[in-house]
């Protein structure tokens, strides 16, 4: 205690000295005429004096920044040595709980340079800004003739006389890793035959070409083929006949996927290709995702790809880009001040990627050149004119007809090089189809190429053959911007393929699995990091012989199952029911395996004496925090049984920042106290556990502990059965039955007050925030941040969308509502339960189809600054309904709102009145916000869902959708397999201090640091693992603190991924460290954030980062480790620009 006092006094003294020195310096500035550039003339107005003072103060702050951070480090060091526990909460007489002030400093100092980035202003503006394009277009859907959604294309016959047309026909087969059939069924029925025929048929003629993109299928096939076949494949790739495009595990959905998983499936595919075929992909191919995110071009560019192709873009945008020859452009990130993120993108102009819509504008003609549809086959041409086999007699006429289409298509692009894809879903699965397409096309090519007067050269090509020829034609290096090509920023959501059929339903379809995806992702990241650290520590101790290296195979399996689920029919929720079950089984199997990997790593890392480590797969040292009985059930948390001996818990914090968190544990007795590993009591709260609104679970209690958890570390806690008055303080609960006659089972040992009527309006508050609720509904009404007189209206309500009565109805893909949403009207009023306690208080409202819990944490720091909102949704008795949650506020947001793309960046949106309601919904994988000059309200989410702002001050999210019919996009089913689903959110209200209109007009925005950190808190919850053994036989356990220094606030360790050895089921000595430096907005006021970190202008010393480990080597590489960047230097100091993601190949030990 004495030491603590000394530290506090010492810290306070140092702080006072620093502040006083700043004051003196400022005073000196004021009286130092040399400092006045204006030659001693004082500015006339008070304001400019103030402005000058502020500018000088900023300058001095920068000069002082170094000194202060040194002081801070020493104070932090002192504090760490005197590390006390968070103080126990006190209970004053008025009934609300307060926590005593923290006895350690909590700094957030952001240097002014780090605030410049969000202000932007550098760099030229792009030629095409997608938000502006949307404002410009009429979206009038006029009939364009044979090209229904376009226009008539004309040309002069002599246009190619000086420069002949160069045509590349690119054979492809689009293989969905699960859609109508499961992944395995597709593989056995179709994919293996496609790839087997490919090896055979490509070798028959060196002029043949083929491209392949899904490595998930390719690797399965590779495992089943002979060494000779593998050699043949390597030859085909080596001589340029077969190209691997994109090279991801799947062709990922770009709306719902999170950037961790997008990168992970890209690494998995690229690492597989490099190891097995020795090839690195050069071009991206994404013909089927339903809309495109600007995150993908960034990831491809950083993986060293030089060009990419997209197809499913709104038909009105395709038409506009075709009319202005802007279908090929350099896609640039909105924040990029120069050209470092530019990648060449080719947009296909027509309705689909099938053969009728790829040779030119007239599908009736193009279909005649799909030779799988020759008469007598299983498929034909809907336009009623079948293909004809090419013979000497008809080749002249057929070739001329096709050339006319090629020339018309070519008029939509700037160059005389033309790309013509030739394929469709699961094509080329029989040798006969290979012959039909390749032999007939070769006859056409031979004819065209033999006629110089036609000025065309036609051939089979790969995607990179096309891009290489394009670059050669314009005479520049691949990857650079071709002269005259436009620069584009923004994204391509939301997608419509015809009429008002907007594909905005899949942003929410099957939310249960969208949520499970993120749970698995968080576990994979945690398991990767902890496994890598345990392996490095065990190697350093020479104990790696005893460590279960077999866990590496479980990691690989989980990477691949998470990767598979990023497929555009998986996380999208647009596959058949049986296929969704197959994905669910895989996700759950991997989740269980990852919990094992985490348990084994944690076991090794918390042992005081590592020599006592013994891995016994039959009796794991730690228990799991929760279990799931089946792939479609919600988790059940483990109950820790208390006895005479203390029970130990190991708590894992997967964040790279230390966190002060409320950690919940279920126990079988109300008489419980929680101690730190040293035996100090920790603040805690006892609450009842409820089966339903009024039914408390007997003999199970939740004890919630306030614990400081080390960054990426493990904290050991003890649970004791308390025999005297030292048990955790209880919470008290009020139950409002609203006139309903329902039986009530009271919790034992905790006070419960039952009120038969509805409640009056009431409020909950902590030191940061007051939240007020409507008594009769229990729903949020207003928020008032501490220090503000006026509360903000933030009211929540549930709404229901129906679907149309006409022939086209909503389905898995499409959202086609029957007008605006109607209020949700359950048959009974809700039961409302209000619980108040020292560490958190909550309001639970139980409706027929949704239970919502709003929780306010009464703790210092991040957890206490936002509201925790969860909705347990069950709409299994609805018919053609979608349930939405809407927040209505007094924020004057007009028609502007902001949604994230893949949890990586923010895209401003505008509500377009000229478009139907459904067109204004967008994906929300991580957050959405609205703002005016004073405030910003952010909804942070733990799962991807569809979001919109349909009126000023509103934000609404679709929670679940139950639809009884197919929407005619090939699935052949509605969405009837709804589950009980828990959707989790955080609601954060921030004050904007330095907003200005010019800034807000820019098509770019960033979250605050608080918002970023709240988001990672929500997406990486602490894992609580009970030690299986009871005390007497227990070896000594110690908390594990892996990081020697605090990471800068804006750095995120995306992954620390152990790389595979030659035997791919075993780990190598190397790992990939993937770092992301987040872009953030400093204009949001932030007080008492409780961060113990600062920012560092993007500098980070990796050398001393990992405590007890040495950094053996450090090699910067491209994102997916395919290319080394620069030479490996001896320096371990790195630098990252804001928004950048960087990968390093490292050796720890």
* Residue 296 φ/ψ region, left for φ over 0, alpha for ψ in the -120 to 50 degree band, beta for the rest: alpha
Residue 916 is classified by DSSP as: -
Dig out the tokens for 929 from the structure.
């916000």
Contact 213, 610 (CB under 8 A): no
Longest dimension (CA), the chain: 103
Contact 979, 188 (CB under 8 A): no
Pairing of strands 935-941, 927-931: antiparallel
Examine the residue annotation and report whether 616 is marked as an active-site residue of this protein. no
With CA atoms as reference, report the closest residue to 1070 among 1146, 1142, 1149.
Answer: 1146
- Alpha-carbon distance of 1117 to 929, in angstroms, equals 35
- Alpha-carbon distance of 1079 to 665, in angstroms, equals 35
With CA atoms as reference, report the closest residue to 1083 among 119, 121, 60, 337.
Answer: 119
Contact 780, 937 (CB under 8 A): no
* φ and ψ at residue 915, rounded to 5 degrees: -105, 155
* φ and ψ at residue 372, rounded to 5 degrees: -75, -20
Contact 786, 767 (CB under 8 A): yes
Pairing of strands 659-667, 732-736: unpaired
**Own/partner long-range contacts of 319-322 (Cβ < 8 Å, ≥24 apart):** 319/144, 319/149, 319/150, 319/151, 320/133, 320/136, 320/137, 321/347, 321/349, 322/150, 322/151, 322/349, 322/412
Put the strands of the sheet holding 639-640 in their side by side order.
639-640, 659-667, 696-709, 684-690
Contact 797, 889 (CB under 8 A): no
> Among 114, 176, 264, 288, which one carries the catalytic annotation?
288
Residue 429 CB contacts under 8 Å (≥ 6 apart), including other chains:
173, 190, 191, 193, 194, 197
Residue 110 CB contacts under 8 Å (≥ 6 apart), including other chains:
1009, 1049, 1082, 1094, 1095
Q: What is the 3-state secondary structure (H, E, C) of 606-654?
A: HECCHHHCCCCCCCCCECCCEECCCCCCCCEECEECCCCCCEEEEEECC
* φ and ψ at residue 805, rounded to 5 degrees: -90, -15
Dihedral angle sign, alpha carbons of residues 140, 144, 147, 150: negative
- Alpha-carbon distance of 358 to 350, in angstroms, equals 7
Dig out the tokens for 946 from the structure.
């569809």
Contact 814, 503 (CB under 8 A): yes
* φ and ψ at residue 633, rounded to 5 degrees: -110, 155
- Alpha-carbon distance of 671 to 839, in angstroms, equals 18
b/e per residue, 632-655, with b = 16+ CB within 10 A? beeeebbbbebeeebbbbbbbbbb
For the CA atoms of 715, 721, 727, 733, the dihedral, rounded to the nearest 10 degrees, stands at 90
Residue 1132 CB contacts under 8 Å (≥ 6 apart), including other chains:
1101, 1102, 1103, 1111, 1114
Residue 119 is classified by DSSP as: H
Half-sphere exposure (Cβ direction) of 532: Cα atoms closer than 13 Å = 26
CA–CA distances in Å: residue 202 to residues 241, 279, 434, 920, 1134? 7, 18, 9, 46, 47
CA–CA distances in Å: residue 743 to residues 696, 740, 754, 756? 11, 9, 11, 11
Catalogue the active-site residues.
Answer: 288
């Amino acid at each position: 205690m004495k030491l603590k006092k000394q530290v506090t006094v010492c810290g306070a003294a140092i702080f006072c000295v620093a502040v006083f020195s700043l004051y003196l310096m400022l005073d000196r500035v004021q009286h130092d005429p040399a400092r006045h550039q204006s030659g001693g003339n004082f500015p006339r107005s008070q304001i400019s004096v103030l402005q000058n003072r502020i500018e000088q103060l900023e300058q001095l702050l920068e000069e002082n920044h170094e000194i202060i951070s040194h002081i801070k480090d020493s104070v932090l060091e002192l504090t760490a040595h005197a590390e006390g526990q968070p103080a126990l909460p006190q209970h004053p007489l008025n009934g609300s709980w307060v926590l005593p002030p923290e006895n350690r400093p909590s700094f957030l100092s952001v240097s002014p340079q780090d605030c410049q980035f969000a202000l932007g202003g550098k760099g030229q503006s792009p030629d095409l800004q997608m938000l502006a394009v949307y404002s410009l277009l009429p979206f009038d859907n006029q009939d364009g003739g044979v090209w229904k959604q376009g226009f008539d294309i004309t040309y002069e016959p002599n246009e190619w006389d000086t420069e002949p047309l160069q045509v590349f026909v690119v054979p492809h087969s689009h293989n969905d890793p699960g859609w109508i059939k499961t992944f395995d069924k597709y593989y056995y029925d179709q994919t293996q035959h496609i790839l087997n025929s490919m090896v055979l048929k490509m070798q028959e003629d060196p002029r043949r070409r083929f491209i392949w993109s899904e490595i998930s299928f390719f690797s399965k096939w590779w495992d089943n083929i002979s060494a000779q076949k593998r050699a043949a494949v390597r030859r085909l790739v080596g001589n340029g006949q077969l190209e691997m495009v994109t090279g991801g595990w799947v062709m990922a959905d770009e709306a719902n996927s999170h950037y961790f998983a997008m990168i992970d499936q890209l690494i998995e595919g690229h690492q597989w290709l490099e190891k097995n075929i020795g090839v690195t992909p050069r071009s991206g191919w994404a013909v089927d995702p339903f809309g495109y995110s600007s995150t993908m071009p960034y990831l491809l560019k950083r993986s060293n790809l030089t060009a990419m192709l997209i197809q499913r873009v709104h038909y009105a945008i395709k038409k506009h880009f075709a009319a202005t020859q802007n279908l090929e452009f350099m896609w640039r990130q909105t924040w990029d001040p120069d050209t470092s993120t530019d990648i060449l993108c080719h947009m296909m102009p027509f309705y689909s990627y099938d053969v009728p819509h790829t040779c030119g504008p007239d599908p009736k003609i193009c279909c005649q050149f799909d030779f799988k549809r020759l008469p007598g086959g299983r498929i034909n041409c809907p336009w009623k004119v079948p293909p004809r086999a090419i013979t000497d007699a008809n080749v002249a006429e057929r070739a001329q007809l096709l050339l006319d289409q090629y020339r018309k298509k070519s008029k939509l692009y700037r160059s005389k090089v033309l790309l013509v894809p030739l394929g469709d879903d699961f094509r080329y699965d029989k040798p006969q189809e290979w012959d039909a397409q390749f032999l007939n096309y070769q006859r056409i090519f031979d004819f065209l190429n033999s006629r110089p007067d036609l000025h065309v050269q036609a051939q089979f090509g790969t995607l990179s053959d096309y891009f290489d020829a394009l670059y050669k034609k314009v005479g520049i290096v691949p990857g650079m911007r071709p002269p005259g090509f436009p620069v584009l920023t923004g994204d391509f959501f939301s997608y419509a393929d015809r009429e008002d059929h907007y594909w905005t339903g899949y942003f929410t379809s099957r939310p249960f699995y969208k949520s499970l995806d993120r749970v698995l992702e968080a576990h994979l990241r945690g398991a990767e990091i902890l496994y890598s650290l345990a392996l490095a520590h065990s190697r350093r101790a020479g104990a790696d012989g005893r460590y279960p290296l077999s866990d590496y195979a479980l990691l690989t399996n989980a990477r691949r199952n998470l990767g598979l689920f990023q497929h555009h029919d998986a996380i999208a929720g647009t596959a058949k029911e049986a296929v969704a079950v197959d994905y669910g089984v895989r996700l759950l199997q991997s989740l269980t395996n990852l919990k094992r990997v985490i348990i084994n790593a944690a076991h090794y890392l918390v042992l005081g004496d590592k020599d006592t480590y013994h891995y016994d797969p039959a009796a794991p040292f730690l228990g799991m925090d929760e279990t799931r009985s089946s792939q479609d059930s919600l988790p059940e948390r483990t109950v820790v049984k208390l006895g005479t001996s203390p029970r130990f818990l190991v708590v894992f914090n997967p964040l790279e920042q230390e966190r002060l968190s409320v950690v919940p544990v279920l126990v079988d007795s109300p008489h419980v106290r929680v101690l730190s590993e040293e035996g100090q009591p920790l603040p805690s709260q006892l609450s009842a556990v409820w089966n339903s609104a009024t039914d408390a679970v007997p003999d199970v209690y939740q004890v919630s502990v306030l614990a400081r958890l080390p960054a990426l570390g493990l904290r050991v806690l003890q649970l004791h059965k308390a025999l005297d008055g030292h048990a955790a303080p209880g919470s008290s609960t009020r139950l409002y039955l609203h006139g309903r006659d329902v039986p009530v089972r009271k919790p034992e040992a905790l006070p419960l007050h039952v009120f038969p009527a509805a409640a009056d309006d009431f409020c909950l508050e902590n030191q940061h925030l007051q939240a007020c609720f409507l008594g009769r509904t229990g729903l949020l009404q207003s928020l008032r941040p501490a220090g503000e007189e006026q509360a903000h209206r933030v009211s929540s309500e549930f709404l229901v969308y129906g679907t149309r009565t006409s022939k086209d109805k909503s389905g898995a893909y499409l959202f086609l509502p029957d007008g605006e949403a109607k209020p949700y009207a359950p048959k009974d009023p809700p039961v409302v339960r209000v619980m108040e306690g020292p560490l958190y208080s909550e309001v639970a409202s139980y409706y027929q189809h949704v239970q919502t819990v709003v929780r306010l944490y009464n703790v210092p720091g991040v957890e206490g600054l936002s509201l925790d909102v969860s909705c347990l949704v069950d709409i299994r008795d609805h018919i053609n309904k979608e349930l939405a949650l809407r927040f209505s506020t007094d924020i004057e947001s007009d028609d502007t709102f902001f949604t994230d793309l893949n949890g990586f960046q923010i895209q401003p949106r505008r509500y377009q009145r000229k478009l139907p309601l459904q067109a204004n919904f967008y994906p929300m994988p991580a957050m959405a916000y609205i703002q005016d000059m004073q405030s910003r309200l952010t909804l942070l989410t733990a799962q991807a869902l569809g979001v919109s702002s349909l009126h000023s001050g509103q934000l609404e999210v679709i929670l679940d959708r139950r639809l009884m019919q197919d929407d005619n996009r090939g699935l052949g089913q509605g969405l009837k397999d709804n589950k009980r689903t828990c959707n989790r959110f955080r609601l954060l209200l921030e004050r904007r201090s330095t907003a200005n209109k010019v800034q807000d007009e820019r098509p770019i925005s960033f979250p605050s640091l608080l918002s970023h950190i709240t988001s990672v808190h929500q997406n990486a919850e602490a894992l609580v693992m009970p030690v299986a053994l009871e005390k007497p036989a227990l070896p000594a356990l110690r908390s594990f603190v892996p990081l020697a220094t605090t990471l800068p606030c804006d750095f995120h360790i995306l992954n620390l991924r152990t790389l595979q050895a030659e035997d791919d089921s075993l780990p190598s000595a190397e790992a990939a460290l993937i770092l992301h430096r987040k872009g953030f907005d400093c204009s949001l006021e932030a007080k008492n954030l409780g961060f113990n970190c600062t920012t560092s202008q993007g500098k980070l010393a990796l050398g001393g980062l990992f405590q007890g480990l040495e950094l053996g080597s450090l090699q910067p590489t491209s994102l997916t480790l395919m290319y080394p960047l620069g030479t490996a230097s001896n320096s371990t100091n790195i630098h990252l620009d804001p928004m950048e993601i960087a990968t390093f190949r490292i050796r720890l030990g």
